[in-house]
Amino acid sequence: MSQVFRGRRFRSNDPVSDFVEIQGSSRRTVIRIDIDGVGESRELRSLAILKGVDVNTFTLDGLSDAS
C-alpha cells in the first residue's frame, strides 16, 4: 500500500483513512481510492475488488502504515 500513497498529493498523517473508501456487500468488498488526493475533487476509483470477502468483516488494519 505504501507505493500507492507516494507523492505530495497524498500527504496526510493517515492517508489510508483520508483517501480510501471501502464499499461492498456480503459477496464482495471494493477498495476505492481518491485519485486526486488532497486536491479539490473526490474522484474515487477502484483499487481492488475482493470477491468472496464480506465488507462487514473487512478492516483496514495493517494497511495504515503508508510510510
The phi-psi region of residue 52 (left if phi > 0; otherwise alpha if psi is between -120 and 50; otherwise beta) is: left
17 part of a folded domain:
yes
1 part of a folded domain:
no
**Residue 40 lies in domain:** 8-51
41 part of a folded domain:
yes
Strand partners, 51: 28
C-beta separation of 31 from 48 below 8 A = yes
For the full predicted model, state whether its pTM sits above 0.75: no
Phi–psi pair at 15, nearest 5 degrees = -60, -30
Query: In degrees to the nearest 10, what's the CA dihedral of 1, 53, 34, 15?
Result: -40
The pLDDT tens digits of the residues spanning 13-66 come to: 777 778 888 998 888 999 998 887 876 777 888 988 999 988 888 877 755 544
